[in-house]
Structure 1
Amino acid sequence: MRHIAIVGSGPAGYYTAEAALKQWKDGVRVDIFDSSPVPFGLIRTGVAPDHQSIKSVARRYETTALSENVRFVGNVMVGRDISIDELRGLYDAVVLATGAPNDRRLDLPGEDLPNVFGSASFVGWYNGHPQFAELHPDFAHDTAVVVGNGNVALDVARILAKSGAEFEGSDIVAHALTALEASRIRRIVILGRRGPHQVTMTPKELGELAKLSRACPRVDPADLPPLAEDAALDPGMRKTMGHLRSFAMAGGSANDNGTGTADDAPCPDRDVRIEFDFFAAPRAILGTDRVEGVEVERTRLVDGKPVGTGETYHVPAGIVVACIGYQTSRIPDVPYDEQGGRFANVDGRIMPGLYCVGWARRGPTGTIGTNRPDGFAIVEKIDADVGALGEAGSGKAGRPGFDALAAERGIDYVKFTEWQKIDEAEVANARQGAPREKFTEVDRMIAKAHPSIQES
């Protein structure tokens, strides 16, 4: 019997568990640990609440989770409740699938001013992550600045621009919906250090901006490269450029010379502007008691890299959200790659018996589906490393060993069937038109998972 511990219950964790079942069938027991009482990681607290079709992938993970050979062990933090060395002593292989939940910092003056947020915290706030439920962003100013040119920046801009009615069918939490419905933001500036050809935005997400009921996306035509240069791009990027060019046509003026700026474009039927400011690098967050604006330097590309031109200007703003990437959380006694913001590894191997997968291995790149081949690849490596054990296995205690340790330490962990009680309660508490109302307090989750303990 093989005993596998997976730390992290997001896509990378469940795809790895699925691969383990296919590799060893009934000859494996997999325990999936998570610091949260609820599973699915990024699917629950990272994917935008209005992207329910993407969140539906969790149903696939339920099939794996309900296998007798797989167990969810929620509300257990590795490094606090149990150490890595203890897990390695109990299991034949430990796979870190913790993702990259921490924001990369801008490292700019004024970054710590109130109402400046990283995207992990801001997205966590409107997605109901318990760690960020008390964030309380202030939307009293008319301008927001979003730093970054990827899909997360688009998510943040879209959420800020939507009307209350457009959240119908989403699982945005009530406290965020109430705050956004009262928002005074009417201008959203998306800053990118490079140009349109260097964005990492995908066409589907970019195209959603054009469908918003009250928002007008704008691109300065002067920022666009000559149309002929789009031919060298891959098909996806050509579609992306098609959207950006359409935003320039809709947002630019009808001057005879074909030029215009984002400021002179009429959108008479929409009261929110989403402005793409390319070749724009933030240099400082301005303000005293709270953020009041962003100092920006105009850039140009030299060998594909943005270089400052020395020309600066200020963008007034009452809120700033930085969407510039993520880092994996450190775990005591696990080597860490400071530059990459992930665990130090060679093709997923960290040290004997310890592996990593997904964003914890390669950094925050790729889509949710990218984690499936990653999970299968790491299981092949584990099989190569432990395959010589034979049918008798290593003799490690595995699941019974952890249960004994948990009983000794009073670790109150949550099983998948107990998460389903939380799930049922969230669905029952949903406002009209929403799939659920998430609990944002761990104590309330535990009370639903273990009602008999709460009553005793």
Structure 2
Amino acid sequence: MSCHKLLLSELKLWSSGGSSWISRLRCGGRGKAFSSSSQNVHISIVGGGPAGFYTAQNLIKARQDVEVDIYERLPVPFGLVRFGVAPDHPEVKNVINTFTQTAKHSRCNFYGNVNVGKDVSIEELQQAYHAVILSYGAEGNRSMGVPGEDLAGVYSAKDFVGWYNGQPTCQELSPDLSCETAVILGQGNVALDVARILLSPLDVLKKTDITQPALEALAESHVRRVLIVGRRGPMQIACTIKEIREMVNLPGTRPEMIAADYEGVTEALKDVPRPRKRLTELMLKTAMETPGEKEQERRNNASCSWGFRFFRSPVEVLADTNRNRTAGIRLAVNKLEGSGEAARAALTGEVEDVSCGLVISSIGYKSLPIDPSVPFDFRKAIVPNSMGRVQQAAGIYCSGWVKTGPTGVIATTMNNSFDTARSLVEDIDSGVLDISAGKPGSQSISTLLEKRGVKPVTFSDWEKIDNVEMKRGEASGKPREKILTVEEMLRVART
């Protein structure tokens, strides 16, 4: 039976009645009246993270006839705002309030626990919706491509962050923190987040929403020194000044810098934009200036240290004598060719070995293909697109990291999501996207999912999970205590 006929037959099934959970889906789980009028433009968004919610928000504002359904693989919404933002950065998570308003809008529905590409195909979504927007982010890890990266003691930053932030797929990680020195490869904000969490006083972390297992592991941690390694120099570092300032002021730690790394930097600062200039000046001050009496005393009393290592690239993760776990890392020594943001790292032929028992690779996330019917650029690890319009795939759009690659902060994602929404609205207005035929939206998809034994989690179901997490957190003096397994999430959602 063709997909089209299958959908028609299942629409007949739907119209003759269904289970209570389908009825709840039609109301978005909140008693919202669901309209299947052919006058409405039905749009599905794949991915319930920042890109998905920002795209939905803009579409709903742009046109009064748009209805948006957000499908998310996990039972809980908000993606990297929940699982990526550092526990000690609660202010960044305030954007959840905006996303909640969008989810509760009368023309928006959230369906968690639906794995698009597995539970339902992109082609089936295309049959049910006027447009499909891919906003499923970047859940893959970029490989270092060096010998030894599979040794015990080597972790991706994505998995490490997921572990302490409660990502269900990362809860088996159990990182070994029994060593004194950790090396983080990469110098972006995520790398500095990991460094800060490794060295933060427990009294600080106990007041955050870090998971209890992570808190217990960090309480037993022997890590006292963290080196943050980058292939280029101070003028090319990828993090923001806020993250560096937090490291400089981190209680119980002292900076461990190499003065030679900053040769010529003062002269080069004359022609750079102000944000880069301020960031670099802070590093220069930390590395080169003699601290005042109070700061010197603080550093003398510190039990932990951290430092940047510039002009270094990983060559090999070194094994211990038993060849089964990490004992160090071999770094190539680089020199810069060119200047500023365009400078490239070139090998000098020298290498340097650093003893360490923990290596965390923070060299970037990457998107993965979702469905054979959707074009995918494996080299760039994105869905090829023009302003969010997926190439050679009419009616399919993309936003967020699957559109651009894993770059920028939440504000960057907001802007690129708004651009995608604008492209889609332009296509509706110009007639490029045909909305003349009625589409059933989630009404047909809910029937497909029921036949396949998939029970979506609505936004009101999520609010049950949210409520339980907040109460558990309150009991232990934390903003929330996250539920760590999909099974328990679903149990709470269906209570």
Q: TM-score under structure 2 normalisation? A: 0.86
> What is the identity, as a one-letter code, of the residue corresponding to 2:324?
D
Q: Report the AA paired with residue 275 of structure 2.
A: G
Instruction: Name the CA distance, whole Å, in 2 between partners of 1:346 and 1:82.
Output: 26
Structure 1 position 251, deviation (Å): 8.2
CA displacement at 1:172 relative to structure 2: 0.5
**Pair 1:382 & 2:424 matched:** yes
Q: Unaligned 5+ residue runs, structure 2?
A: 1-39, 292-296
8 Å CA contact 1:282, 1:297 repeated in 2: yes
Task: Report what 2:156 is aligned to.
Answer: 118
Q: Which residue of 2 aligns with 1:290?
A: 325
Provide the alpha-carbon RMSD of the alignment.
2.0
Which residue pairs with 2:483 in the alignment? 439
Q: What residue is the counterpart of 2:122 in the other structure?
A: 84
Q: Which piece of structure 1 moves more, 166-175 or 420-429?
A: 166-175
Q: In structure 2, what residue type is equivalent to 1:101?
A: E
C-alpha contact 1:219 1:251 (8 A) present in aligned 2: no
Equivalent residue, structure 2, for 1:129:
167
SS at match of 2:359: strand
In the alignment, is the contact (CA less than 8 A) between 2:332 and 2:351 conserved in 1? yes
Write out per-residue CA displacement over residues 108-144 of structure 1, whole angstroms, 9 at most, x where no aligned residue. 1000111201111010001010000110000111010
Counterpart in the other structure of 1:271: 303
SS of corresponding position for 2:227: strand
Could you tell me how far apart the structure 2 residues matched to 1:352 and 1:70 are? 23
Match of 2:381 among 317, 337, 341: 341
C-alpha deviation, 1:168, in angstroms: 3.9
SS across alignment from 1:245: helix
Measured after TM superposition, the shift of residue 207 of structure 1 is 0.3
The structural deviation recorded for 1:181 is 1.3
Identity of aligned residues (%): 39
Counterpart in 2 of 1:361? 403
* Pair 1:197 & 2:197 matched: no
Matching residue within 220, 242, 248 for 1:182: 220
Following superposition, the deviation at residue 167 of structure 1 comes to 1.1
The residue that corresponds to 2:16 in the other structure is none
Task: State the match for 2:10 in structure 1.
Answer: none
Aligned 1:53-72 pairs, distance under 5 A = 53-72=91-110
* SS of structure 2 residue aligned to 1:184: coil
Structure 1 residues 380, 10: CA separation in 2 closer, same or farther (over 3 Å shift)? same
Q: Distance in 2 between matches of 1:24 and 1:202?
A: 36
Does structure 2 retain, via aligned residues, the 8 Å contact 1:294–1:315? Answer: yes
- Aligned-partner residue type, residue 212 of structure 2: A
Partner SS, residue 308 of structure 1? strand
Structure 1 unaligned regions, length at least 5:
253-264, 452-456
Correspondence for 1:34 among 53, 72, 77:
72
TM-aligned CA deviation for residue 290 of structure 1: 0.6
Question: What is residue 400 of structure 1 aligned with on the other side?
Answer: 443
1:363 and 1:392 mapped to 2: Cα distance? 30
Partners in 1 of 2:420 and 2:157 — Cα distance? 29
TM-score normalised according to structure 1 size: 0.93
1:389 Cα deviation after fit? 9.1
Q: Does 420-429 or 266-275 show the bigger shift?
A: 266-275
Deviations 1:254-299 (Å, cap 9, x if unpaired)? xxxxxxxxxxx99321011102111111100010111110001111
Q: Does residue 458 of structure 2 align to residue 415 of structure 1?
A: yes
- CA 1:391 to 1:138, structure 2 compared with 1: closer, same or farther past 3 Å? closer
For the residues of structure 1 that align with 2:480 and 2:311, how far apart are their CA atoms?
41
Q: Give distance in 1, aligned partners of 2:187 and 2:484.
A: 29
1:449 equivalent in structure 2: 493
What secondary structure does 2:175 align onto? coil
Amino acid at match of 1:416: F
Cα distance change, pair 24–271 in 1 and its aligned pair in 2 (3 A): same
Aligned to 1:51: 89
